[in-house]
Each structure stands twice: as structure tokens, then as C-alpha cells.
Structure 1
Amino acid sequence: MSEQYEASESPRITRAVQWLLALNIGVYFLQLTLFGSDAVLSSLALNPSRFPGAWWGLVTYMFVHGWLSHLVFNMFTLWMFGPRLEHVWGTRSFVQFYIWCGLGGGVAHLLFAPQSSVIGASGAISGVLVAYALLWPDEEVYLFGVIPMKSRWLIAAMIGTNIIFALSPGSDG
């Protein structure tokens, strides 16, 4: 679908966004309950010292989160901005875009921070944010639900915050 949305329209949660939310939340629940957080993090993180031997980390890292706040921030962002992109692009294209952005984030981590492991959906989420800002740069959105601003500025601030946290010592990406 390539139809454009009116600024006032907002699609309901879409199939791919539902599945991505469920997958991320499900993995977080499993890491806290069944397997223990350390075992899951060790097995599924993208660890440059184990790459390319543990190649699956390039995919699995984007579904594991170290803290509840990291999971909530990423999933709230996906819930806010993902459905509209999925509606315009279609489910298959949206999922492909999401995964490619996550893979790109993993490769960027391998290149620019090879001394540390990374987990989290931030690479994929950043791609969703950039796409949203490029398609609807002048749309009014609300910071913390109350401060109106153009989507391009909110998204630039969110990506900047994400980069700062990703580069901070002890961060989970």
C-alpha cells in the first residue's frame, strides 16, 4: 500500500507490530522466569568476541533487553510509530525493514564498538523513527504526551538519546 495518511488518521495496532511486541515482551518474560537473565543475555547478545562463530547473535540481540525500562521505551516507540508505517508499506515490507534496520544496528556495533556486547531493539527502532520522520516530518506529535513538536525534532531527540545511552559504559544498547 502506498496511500498517504491524513495527519489526523492513526491506524490501530497492526499485525506485525503486535507480533514484534509479543516477541520482545515474551523473550523478556522468559529471560526473567524460565532461563535466568544472565543465561539468556549470554546466549542471545551480539558479542563481538564470539562473532562470527555465534552468528545468530546478529539477529537475536534485537529481541533481548537488559532492563524493563529499555524494553518499555523501545516497545512504546514501536507501538507509537510502527503501525502507520506498516499500514502504508504493508506487513511484509515493514517486517523486512525492521529486521534490516536491526541487522544494520548490529553491524554498526561490530564496527564501532567491538569491545562490548549489545542487546536491544534500538537499531530497529531507530530505523522506524527515521522512516517516520522522513515520511511525516511536519506532523505534530507530543513529547511525554503533553509537549507538542514536529515529528522530525522529537525523533531526532529520541535517536540522539538512544545513541548516548548506547555509547555509555555499561549500557545494553
Structure 2
Amino acid sequence: MFNITPTVRNLLLANLAIYLLQVNVRLNPSLTQLGSLYPLGSPFLHFWQFFTYMFLHDPGNWMHLIGNMFALISFGPMLEQRWGGQRFLAFWLMCGVGAGVIYEGVRAYELHQIEVAYHDVLASPNAGEFAQFMEKVGFKREVYEAAGDALQRNPNDHALQQAVIDNVKQLHESIFNAPNGGMLGASGAVFGVLFAFAYLFPNTELRLIFPPIPIKAKYFVFFYALFELYTGVHRAPGDSVAHFAHIGGLLIAFIILKFWESGRARFY
């Protein structure tokens, strides 16, 4: 079914092997924690995580791994055949690392917004500031609505104020110092491969489950990028997908391809 090339095969095997280590009870969550990419300022952040995170996947969600590896073996071989194994591997790694760097920048901005909202609650524990904080954290309104309404009805109730402060402090601690708060997955590199495939083979028709009609690669990647950008900016409550790592992979792929293209008339 798939003409799997050597480098694609090795990446596939590496990801599968590491996933099996992750689901090993004795190694998980230590392996996942050491390799996942944590936000700037986290006590769990290490420099190697910009590389290792792309070889890890959610141990409790095997579809995370299957989805990324299916994309790799679907689109990667044609790129490797065009570029050769070494260039394809370099491209994969650069897209993954670059996506992690962009994600870190966006996540730092998001955490700064949470930090500001956190201190606003501590300085003035009222219903409005509490709702702002919970919204920045990403909770659905119904989760905090009862506490917020109670505080709005009794704005001077010190017991309610203290309960809100305690709740906010606990959430703040879990966000900034949680050992399971790292980002992981090969999606940043995968999105780089998707962009490169659409760039080099723009009119190739893809037959996907969704949409259930043939679509050219260039249109598929374009609309997929718009979707990721929209869902990243307008993040739904409870959404834990690193949309800006996906966008980062696309952006890094564009930069790499343009750089290679400028180096010689035909880089492919």
C-alpha cells in the first residue's frame, strides 16, 4: 500500500519504539516528563526537549501516534525520493525543532496573560477578575459560573473571596509547575512535511475521509492551515492541541524551502 523509503521507515520505527517505552509502567511518566517540551520558566524545562518532544506521543492516546505516523508514511516517501534521505531527515528535524521554538514563544505570551490575570485576582478577588482568569486558563463558563455568581452576589464575603483565591492559586500552581504540562508529538514536523508536499506536488489529488471528495494538495494544506490558525487564536475551552506548533511547522517549512530554492535554481 505504501512505498516506505528508508529514512521514513527509520523515523516510523523510532517513534513506535519510543512509544512502547513510554507505555511501559516502569518508564512512564519519567520518560515522557524528561522528553516533553515544557514552557519557558518551568522547572521541568531542559534544552534537549526541543529535539526529544517530537519523538514522544501521548501514552494514553495511541491515535495521536497513529495519526502522525500515517501522515509521515503517506507524504514523506515522495519527498525523500526527491531529496534523498539526508536532506529529508534534516528537513524533518528542522521543522520539528522550529515548531517547538515557535510554540514556546506563543505559549510564553499565553502564560504571561494568565500571570497578569492571576495577580489581578489576588489584588482584587471579585467576580469579574475571577472570570477573566478562568477564561485565560481555558475553562468552560459552567465550570466556574456558580462560584463567580456567588461572589458577584456577595462581593464583600471574605470567605468566598478566600475560596476564590485558594482556587486560583491551586490552578496557577498546576499550570506553571505541573510535571505533566509538557507538549509532545511529531505534529510540528508532520505539518512541515505536509507543506513541502503541497509545495512540490501542488496538484496531486488526495482522497481523504474528510472531506469525502478528491482535493488537490495545495488546497488541502491551505484550508488546514487556516483551520489551525483559527482554532489556535479562538481556542475552545478544554482544547489541549498545540495548534501553534502546527502553524510553526508550516512556517519553518516555508522558510527552509525558500532558502533552499534561493541557493540554486532547482533544489529538488
- Under a length normalisation based on structure 2, what TM-score does the superposition of the two structures give? 0.55
1:149 maps to 215
What aligned pairs does 1:155-166 form with structure 2 within 5 A after superposition?
155-159=221-225, 164=231
Equivalent residues of 2:37, 2:45 under 8 A apart: no
Deviation at 1:88, TM superposition (A): 0.2
Equivalent residues of 2:33, 2:182 under 8 A apart: no
Residues 135-144 or 96-105, more deviating? 135-144
User: Do the aligned partners of residues 108 and 69 (structure 1) sit closer, same or farther apart at CA in structure 2, a change above 3 Å counting?
Assistant: same
Alpha-carbon distance in 1 for matches of 2:49, 2:105:
15
Alpha-carbon distance in 1 for matches of 2:37, 2:87:
25
Is the aligned partner of 1:58 residue 2:72? no
1:18 maps to 9
Letter in 1 for 2:69: M
User: Do the aligned partners of residues 150 and 96 (structure 1) sit closer, same or farther apart at CA in structure 2, a change above 3 Å counting?
Assistant: same
Alpha-carbon distance in 1 for matches of 2:51, 2:226:
23
Deviation at 1:94, TM superposition (A): 0.2
User: Do the aligned partners of residues 160 and 17 (structure 1) sit closer, same or farther apart at CA in structure 2, a change above 3 Å counting?
Assistant: farther
**SS in structure 1 at match of 2:207:** strand
Alpha-carbon distance in 1 for matches of 2:19, 2:228:
19
Alpha-carbon distance in 1 for matches of 2:83, 2:43:
33
Deviation at 1:34, TM superposition (A): 5.1
Is the aligned partner of 1:78 residue 2:69? no
User: Do the aligned partners of residues 104 and 39 (structure 1) sit closer, same or farther apart at CA in structure 2, a change above 3 Å counting?
Assistant: same
Alpha-carbon distance in 2 for matches of 1:147, 1:36:
43
User: Do the aligned partners of residues 73 and 39 (structure 1) sit closer, same or farther apart at CA in structure 2, a change above 3 Å counting?
Assistant: same
Deviation at 1:118, TM superposition (A): 1.2
What aligned pairs does 1:78-157 form with structure 2 within 5 A after superposition?
78-114=72-108, 115=111, 117-144=182-209, 147-157=213-223
- The structure number with the bigger radius of gyration is 2
Residues 90-99 or 32-41, more deviating? 32-41
**SS in structure 2 at match of 1:47:** coil
What aligned pairs does 1:25-44 form with structure 2 within 5 A after superposition?
25-33=16-24, 35-44=26-35
- Under a length normalisation based on structure 1, what TM-score does the superposition of the two structures give? 0.83
Letter in 2 for 1:103: V
* Sequence identity (%): 34
Deviation at 1:25, TM superposition (A): 1.0
**SS in structure 2 at match of 1:54:** coil
Equivalent residues of 1:109, 1:118 under 8 A apart: no
